[in-house]
Amino acid sequence: MTTTSPLTADDLRFLDEAARYLERPGFLMKVANLVGKPAEGVLRALPAKAHAMIGDMTNSALERSLAWAVRSLPAESSPRPRGWSLAGGPRFHLALTAATGAVGGLFGLAGASLEIPATTTLMLRSIAEIAAANGSDLGDPQTRLECLCVFSYGAPQLNAMESAYFSSRVGMAMAMRDAAGYLARHGVQEIGNALAHGTAPALMRLISQIAARFEIVVTEKLAAQAVPIAGAAMGSLINAAFTDHFNRVAEYHFGIVRLERLHGQTGVQQAYQAAAQRAKQAQN
Specify the number of domains making up the chain. Answer: 1
> In which element (H, E) is residue 283 found?
helix 265-283
The answer to whether residue 253 sits within a structural domain is: yes
Which amino acid is located at 244 in the chain?
D
pLDDT band at 96 (very low <50, low <70, confident <90, very high): low
Contacts of 282 (CB under 8 A, 6+ apart): 20
Predicted local confidence at residue 157, as pLDDT:
63
Contacts of 155 (CB under 8 A, 6+ apart): 25, 213, 214, 216, 217
Please tell me which residue, 207 or 71, carries the higher pLDDT value: 207
Which amino acid is located at 150 in the chain?
V
The answer to whether residue 284 sits within a structural domain is: no
Distance between CA atoms of 139 and 79, rounded to whole angstroms?
A: 8
The answer to whether residue 3 sits within a structural domain is: no
Q: pTM of the entire structure?
A: 0.83
The answer to whether residue 1 sits within a structural domain is: no
The answer to whether residue 2 sits within a structural domain is: no
**120 pLDDT exceeds 70?**
yes
Domain, as residue range, for 152: 9-74+81-279
Q: What is the average pLDDT across 169-184? A: 90
Q: How many CB atoms lie within 10 A of CB 221?
A: 27
Predicted local confidence at residue 243, as pLDDT:
84
Q: What is the average pLDDT across 236-244? A: 81
